[in-house]
Amino acid sequence: MANIGDKKITHIYQGNNLILEDNQETKDIKIGDKKIDFVFQGNKVLYPNPIIDKLVLWYDFKNLNNTSFNKDIAKDLSNNSDGTLKNFSYTSESGYSTGLKFDGIDDYISLNTELGKNFTISTTIDIDNITNNYILSSTSVYFFIRKNGYNLDLSILNSEGRQEQFRATNFFVEFLNKKINISYVINSDDKKVYMYINESLYTTFNMEADARSNMKVTGIGIWNNNYFFKGSLYSLKIHDKSLTNEEIKHNYNLEKERWNL
């Protein structure tokens, strides 16, 4: 069965009743033929188990019920910053049974997560083909992640008050309407931005100056109260540090298992 940390799960009990005994090497936690998507101990998430060190935001939209009493809440599994779902329609065709669907008209998530000068943003996402498709934004109009034509842009505000934009040219010639994991590692100490697709380093950008501390991510699927995201968001993680290659790979392997990447 799957591991929680370095501990392998072989037995699952309900009270004193043994529900499952499985010593086979499988990737998923299951009861019978039903996969378990989350394992909690109180409010603490034991499974899945991404890199927890300095994890400041973690949304995961796996098989959640969009008709429940908390349907307008994006639960932060790092227990720091729940988000609020805005303008989503709650029908059998919408919501987040297999990722949260954004209509490109007015759907977005409101949140408030602060970034330092070193941080990592990782999202599993499927992006539709509209020209200006904004994924992430902040109170500063200079911070965003967007699809611009066939390009993928990350823009930050640096410590000297200037905008720095990092463009993956023609990115969506290959990755349009595909479920992928994108990770940006901002390392102000090295003056580098590392961009990963799934577990592989895609490209590296040079920074002019440190990223500005205290920038806040305030919107998912919206920019400047005008442009909206169209596509599906499966998960989002923000770490208040620059993840290593090994940590990126660890997190990706969980995403690969959960979302069939």
Structure confidence at residue 68 (pLDDT): 57
Residue 247 φ/ψ, nearest 5 degrees: -70, -40
What's the pLDDT score for residue 19?
Answer: 55
User: How many separate domains does the chain show?
Assistant: 2
CA distance 112 to 229: 18
Residues 84 and 111: beta-carbon distance below 8 Å: yes
Q: Are residues 85 and 17 in the same domain?
A: no
What pLDDT does 6 receive?
A: 64
Q: Using 50 as the pLDDT threshold, list the residues of the chain that sit under it.
A: 25-26
Range of the domain at 17: 1-36
- Both 104 and 134 in one domain: the answer is yes
Which residues are CB-neighbours of 246 under 8 A, at least 6 positions away? none
Q: Are 58 and 156 within one domain?
A: yes
**153 shares its domain with 215:** yes
Q: What is the pLDDT of residue 14?
A: 53
Structure pTM?
0.87
How far apart are alpha carbons 31 and 89 in whole angstroms? 32
Q: What is the CATH number of the domain that holds 253?
A: 2.60.120.200
232 shares a domain with 162: yes
Model pLDDT, residue 190 = 97
Separation of alpha carbons 122 and 204, rounded Å: 16
Closest CA to 106 of 81, 83, 128, 86: 86
Q: Are residues 44 and 105 in the same domain?
A: yes
Q: What is the pLDDT of residue 31?
A: 64
Whether 139 and 254 share a structural domain: yes
Query: 201 with 243, same domain?
Result: yes
pLDDT at 45: 82
- Is there a contact between 150 and 167 (Cβ–Cβ < 8 Å)? no
CA–CA distance, 217 with 108 (Å, rounded to integer): 13
CA distance 86 to 43: 25
200 and 94, same domain (yes or no): yes
Residue with tokens 């935001």: 57
**pLDDT attached to residue 126:** 96
- Residue 30: what pLDDT? 67
Query: Are 18 and 100 part of one and the same domain?
Result: no
Is 45 in the same domain as 24?
Answer: no
Same domain, 77 and 58: yes
